Amino acid sequence: MIKKLMKSIREYKKQTILTPLSVAIEVVLEVVLPYLMAKLIDDGIYQGSMDATVSIGIQLIIFTILSLFFGAVSGLYAAKASSGFAKNLRKDLYYKVQTFSFANIDKFSTSSIVTRLTTDVTNVQNAFQMILRIAIRAPLILIFSLIMTLTINVKMSIVFFILIPVVGLTLFIISRIAMPIYRKVFKKYDDLNNIVEENTAGIRVVKSYGLEKEEINKFEKKALEIFKLFTKGGKLVALNAPIMQFFMYLGMILISWLGARLIIITHSTELTTGQLSSLITYAIQILFSIMMLTMISVMLTISMSSAKRIVEILDEKPSIKSAKNPIKTVENGSIQFKNVAFSYIGKKNKEVLKDINFTIQSGENIGIIGGTGVGKSSLVNLIPRLYDVTEGELLVAGNNVKEYDVKSLRDAVSCVLQKNILFSGTVKDNLRWGNEDATDEELIEACKLAQADGFINQFPDKYDTYIEQGGTNVSGGQKQRLCIARALLKKPKILILDDSTSAVDTKTEQLIREAFNKKIPNTTKIIIAQRISSVQDCDKIIVMKQGQINAIGTHKELLKNNDIYKEVYESQTQDS
């Protein structure tokens, strides 16, 4: 896992190496300061030597300045290294998500992916910075300070060897109890983000039903759960400070008492006043380093939970990828389903589609009709490999879709899905998602085919009109026509309209179909619709029932031979 994350350091290796190096130099200088203070007291002040006092004082100033300098340098390098690492990690995560198929996306909720890209990366960034500085600094101070106490007086250093394991064990127990609490928090973050995402996406529904209070209560309940978990963990971690202070003062009392006794008994032959003061300073450094190590263990445990969640995405293998030597050209729009079955969870007897067999000739107009949940959208999603078939074979232009380069296949198959998504930007920006190199003339031509040119020219800024995120400042019908125009700009071999004219009036829909027949006669067109009028002029109409094909035929043939089609037709025309 660590190895996987470290790949995101890349161009920040220099800062990553220089940070612990600067910290090590800072620690050495810092540990020498108490030793020099002891010499200042014993050889300068106590002996009454002004020369020694000035000489050691200058050394103290130099070492202090150097310590501050390397401390500032290590902080600067650590900030650059951790920020750069987080930047690269977010980029790697985002790029990886872009390679996911629908099946991969289904495995992770949107809110969970957002949490991993934001909160989890921030936690790992903080841990990385902590490792570079504190995780290097704390053990070095502990080791060097212990070495210095041994060089000063071995007997007195026994106090440290008794206190260190007691303090360490106490703080370790507290951190081990707190760790599981912090782990739970991240699951709650996913739930909280899910509520926020759901609420903002469906804010119009919430307001139309007047359920703002209920949504606020849901949010507050989840936020309260996070608050309680953090409070519970915080209370445990807060015990570190008083416990630390207790042992620190205990250590100072023991060292002061034992040291003073030793000075008096030996008449300063085994321990001097200056050495005693340095031992007290080393005691503070040692005990603080132990507290830092225990805090690091808590923070690293929290970040480990985040790191695991990040690596889950980085390790996820895209379920759909191009073949080793892929076909990069889709010759025509012919389609053939051979004994196709499909399951979202990949299990037999859990198929949403089964026994699918039919052939579409290039340039044909195909209608698909059926009740809600019979698998119409699932069927067409297989053509551009948004999902892969579970069983059987799907051919486009005579080749298995798995043999194509995924991008080439999707460039040849334009889909206007049920959920029409527009992005923040101008009308032109949105249209050019279909073809970034499209000229203004091509944009206008596509919009004329989709019957969108008329209402666009009524906007004050026409094609430069700004579209809000999600297309909130255009109507449902306008959004559908813009999405159709965007799909047409790809100049596809196959055009799939998945209930994409449901918000368009019948007259406009008729104009769209007529324009398609005249202007793109060689493009295979698949139209999923609820209205018989949307598909009755198609070359063939597929009637679906419970994940299977119930019948295939023309409008007249199905009216004569298929009860489902006849029932739908009569229900839609009986009042006209």
Give the start-end residues of each E strand in 126-279.
none
Residues 273-305 as b or e (16 or more Cβ within 10 Å = b)? bbbbbbbbbbbebbbbbbbbbbbbbbbbbbbbb
Closest CA to 74 of 122, 137, 121, 144: 137
Q: Which of the four pLDDT bands, split at 50, 70 and 90, describes residue 575? A: low
Residue 320 resides in a domain: no
Residue 70 resides in a domain: yes
Answer for the pair 512, 480: CB distance below 8 angstroms, yes or no. no
Q: What is the average per-residue pLDDT within 403-414?
A: 87
* pLDDT at residue 238 greater than cutoff 80: no
pLDDT reported for residue 18: 92
Domain that holds residue 21: 10-315
Helices (H), 267-353: 273-315
Q: Work out the number of other CB atoms within 10 angstroms of the CB of residue 547.
A: 21
The lowest-confidence range among 189-203, 350-364, 438-452, 520-534 is 189-203
pLDDT reported for residue 420: 73
Residue 3 resides in a domain: no
User: 302 and 339 in one domain?
Assistant: no
Closest CA to 424 of 472, 462, 388, 376: 472
pLDDT reported for residue 118: 83
Predicted structure pTM score: 0.69
User: 301 and 431 in one domain?
Assistant: no
pLDDT reported for residue 284: 82
| Calpha distance 478→496 (Å, rounded) | 18
pLDDT reported for residue 47: 67
| Calpha distance 113→107 (Å, rounded) | 10
* pLDDT at residue 576 greater than cutoff 60: no
| Calpha distance 497→528 (Å, rounded) | 6
User: 130 and 79 in one domain?
Assistant: yes
What does residue 510 show for φ and ψ, rounded to 5 degrees?
A: -65, -40
pLDDT reported for residue 438: 82
User: 384 and 236 in one domain?
Assistant: no
Most confident of 155-164, 173-182, 236-245: 155-164
User: 306 and 347 in one domain?
Assistant: no
For 2, half-sphere exposure in the C-beta direction (CA atoms, 13 angstrom radius) is 4
Question: Beta strands 391-396 and 399-400: pairing type?
Answer: antiparallel
Q: What is the pLDDT of residues 209-224, one digit of tens each?
A: 787 888 888 888 888 8
* pLDDT at residue 138 greater than cutoff 70: yes
List, in sequence order, every residue forming a beta bridge with 396; answer none if it has no partner.
Answer: 335, 399
| Calpha distance 400→397 (Å, rounded) | 8
Higher pLDDT, 248 or 279: 279
Question: Beta strands 365-370 and 540-545: pairing type?
Answer: parallel
Residue 169 resides in a domain: yes
Written as six digits, the tokens of 31 are 């540990």
User: 241 and 133 in one domain?
Assistant: yes
Mean residue pLDDT of the chain comes to: 83
pLDDT reported for residue 220: 86
User: 108 and 34 in one domain?
Assistant: yes
Residue 86 resides in a domain: yes
* pLDDT at residue 189 greater than cutoff 80: no
- Which CATH number is 498's domain given? 3.40.50.300
User: 354 and 298 in one domain?
Assistant: no
Q: Which of the four pLDDT bands, split at 50, 70 and 90, describes residue 77? A: very high
- CA distance from start to end of the chain: 65
Length of the chain measured in residues: 576
User: 232 and 262 in one domain?
Assistant: yes
Domain count, the chain: 2
User: 416 and 304 in one domain?
Assistant: no
Helix (H) / strand (E) containing 415: strand 413-416
Q: Work out the number of other CB atoms within 10 angstroms of the CB of residue 249.
A: 12
Domain end marker among 261, 287, 315: 315
Q: What is the pLDDT of residues 144-153, one digit of tens each?
A: 888 888 888 8
| Calpha distance 46→273 (Å, rounded) | 9
pLDDT reported for residue 155: 80
User: 107 and 26 in one domain?
Assistant: yes
The lowest-confidence range among 107-116, 428-437, 490-499 is 107-116
- Which CATH number is 206's domain given? 1.20.1560.10
Residue 1 resides in a domain: no
User: 358 and 310 in one domain?
Assistant: no
| Calpha distance 227→233 (Å, rounded) | 10
Q: What is the pLDDT of residues 488-529, one digit of tens each?
A: 888 888 888 888 777 677 788 788 888 887 778 888 988 888
Q: Which of the four pLDDT bands, split at 50, 70 and 90, describes residue 76? A: very high
Q: What's the Cα-to-Cα distance from 426 to each of 280, 423, 488, rounded to whole Å?
A: 68, 9, 18
Q: What's the Cα-to-Cα distance from 476 to each of 299, 302, 463, 465, rounded to whole Å?
A: 48, 45, 18, 17
Domain end marker among 262, 283, 315: 315
Residue 328 resides in a domain: no
Q: What is the pLDDT of residues 436-471, one digit of tens each?
A: 888 888 888 888 888 888 888 888 888 888 888 777
Domain end marker among 284, 315, 346: 315
What does residue 115 show for φ and ψ, rounded to 5 degrees?
A: -60, -40
Residue 563 resides in a domain: yes
Q: What is the average per-residue pLDDT within 360-388?
A: 87
